[in-house]
Structure 1
Amino acid sequence: MSFASAPVRDPAVPSAGSWRDVYIAATAKGVSICGDFLAATTLVLTLQSAGAGGLAVAALLLASTMPLVLLAPVAGRLADRVDSRTLLVTAGLGQAAICVALALVSQPVAVIGLVFLLSCGLAVSQPVLSALIPAMVRRADLPRAGAINQTAGTVGALLGPALAGLLVGQFGTTVPLLIDAASYGALVAAGLLLRTRRGGRAAAGATVPADRAAVEGWSIWRDPLLRAMVVSVAAVIGVVGAINVVAVFFVRETLAASETMYGVVEAAWMVGLLAGAWFCARLARRARDDAALVGGILLLLGATCLVLPVAAVVGAVGWLIPLWVVGGAFNGGENVFAGVVVGNRVPEAVLGRAFATLGGAIQGASMAGYLAGGVLADRVPIRPLVAGLGVAGLVVVLWLVVPVVRMTRRERARAAVPEPVTADGRGAGLATSSVTG
């Protein structure tokens, strides 16, 4: 079973941590994500209110996503090789300065360029924080730690759009962007307060010969189960991701809702995300194995897609709130399951690379969705488009069922062979399974 108990990491090892560090890292993530969503929603609302079309919104979203894809290989290696404290402090200070500049400019080209730079910092800080969580706790506690981390991120994402809807309506663009700049101080504080550290001297002290042998030539794409998980999530997001562009036009124009209500609808998804994360954290602890979690991810992806055709027929924006809560709950479950699978199967020394690769693949798929949304929102009636996106996502999920089931069966057959256990409690197959497929 994937969640067999593992020994607590040796406190003498520099990368060892505690629940205190889990909460510090989660708080930093929550505050910074609140700022991210505050800025993103502010800028999207500003563009829509100024009469910009789908392509302009898509361009903004692409600028916020592209660095996460382009920099994924570099950011992952930085997260594994450079002191996490240095990376968090540097990224936090840099993002704060960029947000201040965003508050002072209004030219669309300058705004999009600064958003691109802002996302470069996120491309670095995101895998650093993600890789620190598995280093803080034993494997049996990963679902709980992952749920805490997602809870903080969800609360931040919940508050960000709601604050943006309120602040933009009352004060315009400048105030929310300055608040966003202040939010990145949380990354700086986390970098200084966290006892758990990765990269730099911490990585050198924590790496043992067995670890070096395990990670040599490692790639997330060479683990068949991880590959199936990443491809499944990315494929569905690539089809359904256009909703991120379309939603603002659906809420503001088709349903004639206010800027504040748009923020409330976006926040409803985050409420569901939070509930789904905690519920699925319990399920993850009882899961038969990693293969069961990957199957669960595919099921949750299909359920998320089902929400969109229902949403397309509502007559008032109020109906979107419960639907978005349900969709967010499925989304939250997917995130927890995926985080646990990565934490279980990836050697500790390359966790940063793994999370950066996963994030890059997903964000790359999101970029395809943004481009499609930008083109379609200006050419296709919005209601049929929302329904069509959900149906297209379901088709992709059904297409993936057979290969994913086949892969999970192979994984269980391979895992049935007894494996030696390494010093950190991971089965040797978890470290070397990347070369079996």
Structure 2
Amino acid sequence: MLKIGFPISLKNPIFRQLYLAQTVSLFGDALTWLGLALLAFELAGKSAPVVLAGALTLRVTAFTLLSPVAGVLADKCDRQPILMFTHLGRMVLVCLLPFVQSIWQIYTLVLGLNILNAFFAPTYQATIPLVTGETDYRQAIALSGTTYQILGVFGPGLAGVLALLIGARELFFWDGVSFLIAAILIGTLPGNLRSDVTAAPQRRVGSIGSDILAGTARLWADAPIRYGLMLQLVASIAGAQILVNTVGYVQGTLHRTAVEYGWVMMGFGLGATLGTMAIGIFPQYRSKIITLLAGGIAINAALLGANYVGLAPLILLWAIAGCGQSLINLSLQTLIADRTPTNMQGRVYGAHFAWSHLWWAGAYPLAGWLGTTFPDRTFWYGSCIGLAVLAIVHLCLAPDRFSHTHPEFSHAHAHEGDRQHHHEHATDVETEDRSLHQHPHVHPQVSHSHSYTDISHQH
């Protein structure tokens, strides 16, 4: 069973400083996105769901198009400059948000912010296993995820109070300071943050396309990861409803203030924190599949009656939804780390970041349309759509339901191409002796059904 040994992870000085940088920037980031919701409501009134949906669609579009490129660069380059300069760039852009006077300016700055974030996020995710090693990376991922959720709890509540005291626009300056501090922390990390593959001579830029395809192929070829990725589609349908339409429901339908809106989103963050902590109780492979399914059910079921409740029940429902989203996201993140070689994790995390945000690119416009077309039933319709997609995904893709071939494994042997054992070398196999090497290999004829109670197959 996985033990959440957070102090063990923090004994690593590089991870400790990297984690501190993440914590500082996330603290300000929580203020920024709540401030953006309030700014959209200030400028657009009842049309705020459309504005938020548009801004968030730009966000995920940038992630979808650029994250695979970021993943390739993370495998090829020193990650420290990437992490540092993306923080400095975002510092400049968020400090411009207080001066926004029109909707198009929101869209422009949000697009710029998330172009930079598209390079930061997958690079950071791939760096955690790199700096912690095989023994501690699960603990480090859990700690990083828990911190993200805890700040999601306190950030919106604090932002609501600050917005009441100093105004929504001033919140953006807090985030600018946080990005500056985080950039300094990352810039002063000892050594560099290169994966093993970057120690080799750099390949030409033209190989970026093939590297992106390699990361995507590995992501979709693994049945458990593929199932988790599709469960993220389910979570995005419900999650977009929460992020886009909650501010309109709380301030428009319930006639509450920004403080109460902060409380509701605090409930979502609290539930997400509890879900993140629960991941440590379910370390085995089969439990992760069950956890993914439970998360998909929880986040969509929580929305069923949300249009018909007051403030306190809404906070409880959003806590359940937040728990469900964390069960899906963190389970999939640890599955990728478990089942992907270190020298490919940048490409796979980049591909995962792109595909998971592609789901949100469709979910945000759907949420905006439901919020303006059916303002009294938007959460109900969103939940019904999400549950229908969940049923289809589970019936078609649940790994325990079907036969499978063993995942590829690496072995070394001498050979000559003959009729009994013939295969071609992949383009990324680097070896001086073409007759003796280590490479991935799959036995296509080994196919049978059994329960995934152990992810380690011995050959």
Same fold judged by TM-score > 0.5?
Answer: yes
Instruction: String of CA shifts for 1:245-295, please: whole Å, max 9, x gaps.
Output: 1111111122222111101111111112112211212312xx1x3x54234
Mark the CA change 1:140 to 1:312 in structure 2 (over 3 Å): closer, same or farther.
farther
Instruction: String of CA shifts for 1:228-254, please: whole Å, max 9, x gaps.
Output: 321231244246523321111111122
Query: How far apart in 2 are the matches of 1:253 and 1:429?
Result: 62
Which among 175, 179, 186 is matched to residue 180 of structure 1? 175
Which moves more between the two structures, 371-380 or 169-178?
169-178
Asked whether the equivalents of residues 227 and 393 of structure 2 are also in contact (C-alpha less than 8 Å), the reply is no
- TM-score, normalization by structure 2: 0.79
> Does 1:163 find its partner at 2:162?
no
> Does 1:36 find its partner at 2:29?
yes
Residue 233 of structure 1 corresponds to 232
Residue 360 of structure 1 corresponds to 354
Query: How far apart in 2 are the matches of 1:261 and 1:322?
Result: 13
For 1:34, the aligned partner's letter is: F
Asked whether the equivalents of residues 224 and 407 of structure 1 are also in contact (C-alpha less than 8 Å), the reply is no
Mark the CA change 1:432 to 1:270 in structure 2 (over 3 Å): closer, same or farther.
farther
- How far 1:306 moved relative to its partner? 0.9
Aligned length: 404
Mark the CA change 1:95 to 1:387 in structure 2 (over 3 Å): closer, same or farther.
same
Residue 46 of structure 1 corresponds to 39
- How far 1:69 moved relative to its partner? 1.3
Mark the CA change 1:80 to 1:58 in structure 2 (over 3 Å): closer, same or farther.
same
- How far 1:90 moved relative to its partner? 0.8
> Does 1:414 find its partner at 2:406?
yes
Query: How far apart in 2 are the matches of 1:421 and 1:22?
Result: 33
Query: How far apart in 1 are the matches of 2:319 and 2:46?
Result: 28
Query: How far apart in 1 are the matches of 2:443 and 2:349?
Result: 15
Query: How far apart in 2 are the matches of 1:304 and 1:184?
Result: 31
For 2:314, the aligned partner's letter is: L
Query: How far apart in 2 are the matches of 1:243 and 1:429?
Result: 48
Residue 302 of structure 1 corresponds to 297
Residue 455 of structure 2 corresponds to none
Instruction: Choose 1 or 2 for highest CA Rg.
Output: 2
For 1:355, the aligned partner's letter is: Y
Bigger fraction of residues in helix: 1
> Does 1:22 find its partner at 2:21?
no
Asked whether the equivalents of residues 151 and 277 of structure 1 are also in contact (C-alpha less than 8 Å), the reply is yes
Gaps of 5+ in 2: 3-8, 202-210, 414-436, 448-459
> Does 1:262 find its partner at 2:256?
no
For 2:17, the aligned partner's letter is: I
Residue 385 of structure 2 corresponds to 392
Mark the CA change 1:332 to 1:21 in structure 2 (over 3 Å): closer, same or farther.
farther
Mark the CA change 1:143 to 1:385 in structure 2 (over 3 Å): closer, same or farther.
same
Mark the CA change 1:203 to 1:429 in structure 2 (over 3 Å): closer, same or farther.
closer
- How far 1:45 moved relative to its partner? 1.1
Instruction: String of CA shifts for 1:101-143, please: whole Å, max 9, x gaps.
Output: 2223323212210111011111111111101111233445343
- How far 1:434 moved relative to its partner? 12
Q: What is the SS of the residue equivalent to 1:241?
A: helix
Residue 122 of structure 1 corresponds to 117
> Does 1:282 find its partner at 2:281?
yes
Asked whether the equivalents of residues 95 and 184 of structure 1 are also in contact (C-alpha less than 8 Å), the reply is yes
Asked whether the equivalents of residues 55 and 107 of structure 2 are also in contact (C-alpha less than 8 Å), the reply is yes
> Does 1:342 find its partner at 2:336?
yes
Asked whether the equivalents of residues 238 and 367 of structure 1 are also in contact (C-alpha less than 8 Å), the reply is no
For 1:371, the aligned partner's letter is: P
Query: How far apart in 2 are the matches of 1:124 and 1:340?
Result: 20
For 1:36, the aligned partner's letter is: D
- How far 1:341 moved relative to its partner? 0.3
Residue 10 of structure 1 corresponds to none
Residue 426 of structure 2 corresponds to none
Mark the CA change 1:387 to 1:199 in structure 2 (over 3 Å): closer, same or farther.
same
Residue 398 of structure 2 corresponds to 405
Asked whether the equivalents of residues 292 and 328 of structure 2 are also in contact (C-alpha less than 8 Å), the reply is yes
Residue 151 of structure 1 corresponds to 146
For 1:237, the aligned partner's letter is: S
Q: What is the SS of the residue equivalent to 1:381?
A: coil
Q: What is the SS of the residue equivalent to 1:309?
A: coil
For 1:263, the aligned partner's letter is: G
Mark the CA change 1:420 to 1:141 in structure 2 (over 3 Å): closer, same or farther.
farther
Instruction: String of CA shifts for 1:146-181, please: whole Å, max 9, x gaps.
Output: 210012212232233223222222222332111111
Gaps of 5+ in 1: 4-15, 208-213, 423-427
Residue 210 of structure 1 corresponds to none
